[in-house]
Amino acid sequence: MSALLELQSVETDIGGSRILRGVSLEVNSGEVVALMGRNGVGKTTTLRSITGLRPIRSGSITLAGQRIDRMTPDARARAGIGYVPQGRDIFPHLTIEENLHVGLVVHGRRGTEARIMLDRVFALFPVLKEMLSRKGGVLSGGQQQQLAIGRALLTNPKLLILDEPTEGIQPSIIDQIGDTLKKLKTSNISEKDATAQSRQEAAEIMGAVTTLKKEGALAILLVEQYVDFCREVADRFYAMDRGAVTISGDIASLTDEVVKVHLQV
């Protein structure tokens, strides 16, 4: 069986400099794959090469066996790629409801189909339903990320690409995440506690990724710097350095030693 997404020896230049030096990787249906690496090694450039925001210089990219590397970003989105870029890509002056409707309108979904899509997003991120009339700009970092992921899911992608979904949530909190997930199951955390809220958001993002994985309907390619988050949600990993993949494998092979050699600053 062939991979859902396959990159073969992809090279990408930015402003005359070679940024990707032959990136090869695969994502299979139903899989969560983490793309890791230190700052500036080319993770975002890899994602932008896949989505078409950066033209590639050589190599090939296929989605479900079809070459996509010469297609426009729009055509790649229609072919089944959902993308949540690094940072907060939502409309701050529109409400949650309006932000989601923009997603539906852009992709021409209405009526029953739109409602089914929205219900799926609300099931994954209940907080969005509770805060429908809240403006995007006043949401916390984690809530904005949930909105951005929710909006990308409205296109019903085959492959969901997330660039640092935990960005904007305090690092110390993501580090405690494994612990927190257990605690969330066994105790009630006060909502007034801002730290607890942040923890809950990180847990919700992770929970959503896990739920999507269980549904098995889509694959996820995730850029993420937090090792524990990756260990929790990913099936496999690739680590990059200076524009190329240096090591990859099952997530179980992402040992502390590998982290030390390939990922730590």
- Contact residues toward Mg ion (CB under 5 A) are 43-44, 86
Strand positions, DSSP E, 181-243: 219-223, 236-241
Which of ligand ATP, Mg ion, none does residue 42 bind to, with CB < 5 to 8 Å depending on kind?
ligand ATP
Which of Mg ion, ligand ATP, none does residue 16 bind to, with CB < 5 to 8 Å depending on kind?
none
23, 36, 41, 169: which one contacts ligand ATP (CB under 6 A)? 41
Chain length of the chain: 265
- Distance of alpha carbon 60 from alpha carbon 51, whole angstroms: 13
What phi and psi, each to the nearest 5 degrees, are found at residue 234? -90, 155
**Judged by CB under 6 A, does residue 40 bind ligand ATP?**
yes
Which of ligand ATP, Mg ion, none does residue 180 bind to, with CB < 5 to 8 Å depending on kind?
none
Stretch that binds ligand ATP, among 13-21, 68-76, 137-145, 173-181 (CB under 6 A): 13-21
**Judged by CB under 6 A, does residue 42 bind ligand ATP?**
yes
> For residues 110 and 102, is the Cβ–Cβ distance under 8 A?
no
Nearer to ligand ATP, 5 or 47 (CB): 47
DSSP 8-class letter at 135: B
Which of Mg ion, ligand ATP, none does residue 249 bind to, with CB < 5 to 8 Å depending on kind?
none
**Judged by CB under 6 A, does residue 264 bind ligand ATP?**
no
**Number of residues counted as binding ligand ATP (CB under 6 A):** 12
Calculate Rg over the CA atoms of the chain.
18
Binding mask 44-83 for ligand ATP (x = CB under 6 A): xx--------------------------------------
Nearer to ligand ATP, 22 or 30 (CB): 22
Nearer to ligand ATP, 25 or 104 (CB): 25
| DSSP for 18-59, written as a single string | EEEEEEEEEE-TT-EEEEE-STTSSHHHHHHHHHTSS--SEE
Cite the DSSP H helix spans in the chain.
43-51, 73-79, 96-106, 111-124, 126-130, 141-153, 171-175, 177-186, 194-215, 227-233, 256-258
